[in-house]
Every structure is written in C-alpha cells, then in structure tokens.
Chains A and B, each alone.
Chain A
Amino acid sequence: MHLTIKYFGMLTEITQCDEETFAFTQNTVLELLNSLFIKYPLLKDKDFQVALNNELVPIESEISSTEIALLPPFAGG
C-alpha cells in the first residue's frame, strides 16, 4: 500500500518535507511509526499525535485510509 504521510509544524523540520508517499506493507500505526523512526531518528523524541480520516487515533490502530497525518501539539488561538 502506498500511504500519503503529512507532517506539520516542528515535525517538518525533521522530515524536510510536509508530505511524502511511503510504501508500507504492514498494518498498524505503530508499525508505520517504527519504519519512520528508522528513516527519521529524531522523530522519536518529538511529541505528536496521529490522525486517520481526520480523527486522532491510538497508535495500535490499523491503518484504514491512504492518508495519515502526524500532528505536533496544537497552538491555535
């Protein structure tokens, strides 16, 4: 499966991009994050949440959509 991964805020300073396509053969968010931590070791130390289908999900969740977003702490207002 090809996933589109979106990065926001401080996370883009680590990934050097705000979106990328990622070939992924496993199932869960946690498995995806472990792959991303190999590609971007500094990501591991950052505080962020994961959204699928515009909803925050626990990292044990199965990836059910082709777009996934990594969201650092919110700062609106």
Chain B
Amino acid sequence: MKEHNVKNIFKEGPIASEFIGNAIAKHQSKITIGAHTIFLGQVRADTIDKKNVSAIEYTAYETMANKKFHEVREAAFAKFNLTCMHVYHSLGIVKAGEICLFVFVSATRRKEVFAAIEYVVNEIKAKVPIFGKEVFEDETHQWKKNV
C-alpha cells in the first residue's frame, strides 16, 4: 500500500460548488475508477430557544487536526479498496446553507465507496479537533458539539 503525505485539509470560508465540480472533473483522467461517493456537510439553520443559527464560525487545532485526518485517511485506505480520497473542511465563517465539509472517495466499484464515505465522515466528526461557534441572527452564540 502506498504511503500518503500529511495534507492540509483546511480552506478559509465556505467550500464553493465550483471547487467541488472541478474536483469531479479532475478525476475524468483516472479511468480505473468506476464509482465515487461525495459527502457534503452543510450548515443548518437550527432553531434553538426560538433563535435561528445564521452561521458557524469554525476554528481548529490545525497541526493535530491534519495529523488526525491523516490517520483516518490511512486507516480508510487499509480498510477499503480505494483509488483516492480528498477531504476539505472550512475554517472561519460559513453561513447557513453553505458547505463546510467536502469528502470525496473513489474506487473501482460502488460497494467500497459507500462503506468508506460513512466511515471517513464518522471518524472526522469524532477524532479531528475542529470547533464550531453557532452564531445566531441576533449575534449571540453557542458552541456546537458533535453527537
């Protein structure tokens, strides 16, 4: 199995749909791939105590986060027969309706990518130190916690 370098998964601000489209287009030259799955995390306008979340401001312990993501990536390649994997997570303000997480997994066949995408997203949520401040329309806030 080939070794991968530690990558920086973070992007400032929301992940644009053009960026996602370009990522798909780049894979047209990889003709052993037969199946992709994509997971997009979108900021939800939750209503908490009658107040609506208007945005989430993300911060991270970046050195540890990139290392932990690298471990998730290596574990996924060991567990599933994947061709490639790309992950991007936002830092800073992401408004409700915008994309904050983009996970893109590719393999020769669909079975592997369905299983791998769920594994990778769950592992990122549990193990990667990213923090989210849910900002309400009245500019008050609370801290998000993954469950």
Contacts and interface: CB of A to CB of B under 8 A. Distances in A.
A74 B130 CA distance: 5
Interface residues of A, number: 15
A75 B145 CA distance: 5
Nearest to A67: B63
Interface stretch (B15-23, B73-81, B105-113, B121-129): B121-129
B124 to A, nearest CB: 6
Contacts of A72: 131, 143
Contacts, number: 72
10 contacts: A9-B59, A51-B64, A54-B64, A69-B64, A73-B143, A75-B145, A76-B60, A76-B89, A76-B129, A77-B124
Given A8-B59, A8-B131, A9-B133, A74 B126 contact: yes
Give the secondary structure class of B's interface: mixed
B129 A8 contact: yes
Interface residues of B, number: 29
Contacts of B126: 74
Interface in B24-57: 41, 56
B131 A69 contact: no
Contact of B129 (A10, A74, A77): A74
Interface string B73-107: 00000000000000001000000000011000000
A71 interface: yes
Contacts of A73: 143, 145-146
Given A9-B131, A54-B64, A77 B41 contact: yes
